[in-house]
Amino acid sequence: MNKYIPYAICALFLFSVANIDSVRPFYMNQGDELDLYLNIEKNVDYDIDNIRLAVYIPDLDVYGVSNRFDLEDDRQAKTMFVDMPRDVEPGTYLMRIFMTNDDDHLRTVKHWWLDVY
């Protein structure tokens, strides 16, 4: 077996055609809808079609999905609205933000903390 094959396999898993560069807000008030502002960065020279964003907050069992969109520019801002339960206890919650599509086999996950006041 070629000694460089394991390194090539690792490099394939580290590269993504696009990634979620930043997420806002870091906080929300109890009883509010969660408005997420995501900056997405493209790492390839071609357009990426049919991207879908999803947010999952495991401790609250909250899940939200965006409409599909195309990423044509190197950077693009997206807004996503997630319905939250009105009785969320104040605290810090882990969010998992997924970005996927079918054509380029895009699968990216970003973990982010959300403070509820």
Is residue 56 in a domain? yes
Residue 65 lies in a domain: yes
- The pLDDT of residue 27 is 80
pLDDT, one tens digit per residue, over 7-53 is 444 344 445 788 888 888 778 888 889 999 999 999 888 889 999 99
- What CATH number is attached to the domain comprising 87? 2.60.40.10
For residue 91, being part of any structural domain is answered with yes
pLDDT at 79: 92
**Residue range 62-73, pLDDT digits in tens:** 999 999 999 999
Residue 2 confidence (pLDDT) = 53
Where is pLDDT greater, at 11 or 88? 88
Asked whether residue 64 is assigned to any structural domain, the reply reads yes
Tell whether the model's pLDDT for residue 83 goes beyond 60: yes
- In a domain? residue 60: yes
Is residue 95, in this structure, part of any structural domain at all? yes
What's residue 3's pLDDT? 54
| Number of compact structural domains in the chain | 1
Question: Does the residue 4 lie in any domain?
Answer: no
Per the model's pLDDT, the better-predicted residue between 6 and 94 turns out to be 94
Calculate the average pLDDT of the chain. 84
What confidence score (pLDDT) does residue 10 get?
A: 39
Phi–psi pair at 72, nearest 5 degrees: -105, -35
User: For residues 4 and 87, what is the distance between their CA atoms, to the nearest angstrom?
Assistant: 53
What pLDDT, on the 0 to 100 scale, is given for residue 17?
Answer: 81
pLDDT score at 35: 92
CA angle (83, 84, 87) in 5-degree steps: 150
In a domain, 5, yes or no: no
What is the rounded CA–CA span in Å between residue 19 and residue 83? 24
Range of the domain at 104: 16-116
